[in-house]
Structure 1
Amino acid sequence: MSAGTLGVEGFAQDSAAQNHPRMRAGYTSISAGTMNRLVAAIAADVFNVPLTEVRAGVHDQSGQVSVSLAVPLALHPAAEVFGGTVFERAASGRQRVANSIEELAGSTVSRVDVRLTGIHESDPRNAGRVQ
């Protein structure tokens, strides 16, 4: 263990690790339902739509995470962050979802499939109105 020294609890410690809380022995697991909700919440944030309008499925694909999302397309000023065509917005969203899952859950994401299920308008006065 040339990168650090063994600590009191048997964990390798280097100068960067000494600034963080001490590690404890044990494990943490994330249930399938929790992972589905986490991915749905990430997708709702990324696609800027309410969580209630997002459906997410998480599957194991040879040790990596495979995600399927069903989300509406946001049509409001905040949606302009993506820009471009519907397909470009979906591609950008897929990448952001994968990055967030890897950052928050520590899981490697092999694929993210997005199915656009409709239109979400944030201004209810314009919803359903033909322009």
Structure 2
Amino acid sequence: MNIKPTLSAGVVIVRHFDDQYRYLLLRIRDYWDFSKGMVEPGEDPLAAAIREVEEETTLIQLDFRWGHAFTETEPYGKNKIARYYVAESAEGEVFLPVTEELGKPEHEEFRWMEYDAAFGLLVPRVLAVLDWAGKII
């Protein structure tokens, strides 16, 4: 029996620093990823991705200047697929707010990283997303 994978959605967020793009990475324990979270029943995946970015980082007004193209991971973990879009955040401070559910921030750290530095921190599943985003921007 094939069980349909659950879908999460997120955004590879970039920002210009010193004439180059840097990628926003978030850390939980020793695992780095882009902002993402579960798509609620009936929710549009892009709307879910935007909601998750705001909930996890407080960033708003993302510029999807490269359109709404996305990439998806192969199923992983407990039959989950992650869909990622690419957007620029030209302004706004990243803040990792305390979540009601956890009583602490969902992520422990964030970093704006150059492509090569980000490449060294990511697992293969997320590296493929970074590579895809790098080709778009």
Question: What TM-score results when the alignment is normalised by the length of structure 2?
Answer: 0.29
Question: Larger relative CO (CA 8 A, sep 6+): 1 or 2?
Answer: 2
Could you say which structure has the higher strand fraction? Answer: 2
Which of the two has greater helix per residue? 1
